[in-house]
C-alpha cells in the first residue's frame, strides 16, 4: 500500500474527538446527537441517511436522520424533538426510538420496517 493510498484511508476515517458517546442516562448536547446520527449512517448505510434540512435562527445546521428500506410505497413517519428549550426528555426518546429501529430493523414487523422514519 503506497503513501498516497494510506493518506486517503486516513483522510476518510472519522476524526477522534472528545464528543461523548450517546447513552440514555445523560442529557446530551446537539454535537453528541449529531455524532450519534452520523454513527448510525456509517454503521447502517443500507437504511440510514443523514441530511441537512436548513439552519436554525442561530445559524446551526438542522439535521435529520432518515431510516428506510427504500421501498417507494412506504408511508412516512416524522418524529421530532428538542424544538423547545426545555424539552429535555424529547431528544432522548427520539434518539432511543431511532436506535431501536435501526439496530433491530431486520427483525421488526413490516408494519414498522415498511415505513420511512
Cα separation, 40 vs 43, in Å, equals 5
Q: What domains can be seen in the chain, in order of their start residue?
A: 3-116 (3.40.630.10)
Per-residue pLDDT of the chain (117 residues; tens, 9 = 90+): 555 555 555 445 555 567 789 999 988 999 999 999 999 999 999 999 999 999 999 999 999 999 999 999 999 999 999 888 788 899 999 999 999 999 999 999 999 999 999
Predicted structure pTM score:
0.80
At residue 4, the pLDDT reads 54
33 near 23, Cβ under 8 Å?
Answer: no
63 near 52, Cβ under 8 Å?
Answer: yes
Amino acid at each position: 500500500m503506497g503513501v498516497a493510498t494510506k493518506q486517503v484511508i486516513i483522510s476518510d476515517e472519522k476524526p477522534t474527538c472528545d464528543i461523548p458517546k450517546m447513552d440514555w442516562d445523560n442529557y446530551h448536547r446537539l454535537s453528541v446527537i449529531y455524532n450519534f446520527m452520523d454513527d448510525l449512517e456509517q454503521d447502517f448505510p443500507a437504511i440510514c441517511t443523514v441530511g441537512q434540512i436548513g439552519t436554525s435562527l442561530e445559524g446551526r445546521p438542522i439535521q435529520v436522520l432518515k431510516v428506510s428500506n427504500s421501498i417507494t410505497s412506504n408511508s412516512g413517519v416524522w418524529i421530532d424533538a428538542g424544538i423547545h428549550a426545555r424539552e429535555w426528555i424529547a431528544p432522548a426518546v427520539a434518539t432511543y426510538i431511532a436506535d431501536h429501529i435501526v439496530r433491530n430493523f431486520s427483525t421488526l414487523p413490516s408494519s414498522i420496517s415498511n415505513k420511512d422514519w
